[in-house]
Homo-oligomer: A and B are copies of this chain.
Amino acid sequence: MLSKKSKYAIKALVALAKHSKHGEPMRIVEISEQEKIPKKFLEAILLDLRKHGILGSKMGINGGYYLVKKPEQIFLTEIIRLTDGPIAMIPCASLNFYEKCDDCEDETVCGLRKVMTELRTASLAVLSANSIADIIKKETKLINSKNRK
């Protein structure tokens, strides 16, 4: 399961992407209220995203957070790996967070690892195909098809 942290991070980035057509920073409180994310928790999340170069911030009046990268270039893989860690379901099947199982004699011959590697490949295909911009696109698409009814 995705942690709330990851989910909130994605939602905040979507909110920022929608807002940043204006180019100006968005306040934590605004994001918090709009997306119903606990303010102080969101604070920590945004700080994290800033430290990793996805967001920038400005203090004082008219301050807030803004996107550094374009919504088209922020993929779900990046956010999830940053906030939750590995995409794979077991460490020995992970690309970026590989770890050896201490209960496994020879992983090159492990059937479970083989299946979990297949799963990781499938998951990565979906997550690396979707950026923040794609999420917004899907949203407008869903709204349109709903209104047509």
Contact = CB atoms under 8 A, between A and B. Distances in A.
B35 A103 contact: yes
Interface of A: 1-2, 7, 10-11, 14, 35-37, 76, 85-86, 88-91, 102-103, 108-112, 114-116, 118-119, 122-123, 125-127, 130, 134-139, 142-143, 146
B110 A139 contact: yes
Contacts of A10: 112
Given A123-B122, A123-B123, A115 B7 contact: no
A65 to B, nearest CB: 19
The winner among A10, A14, A122 for most chain B CB atoms within 10 A is A122
B90 A2 contact: yes
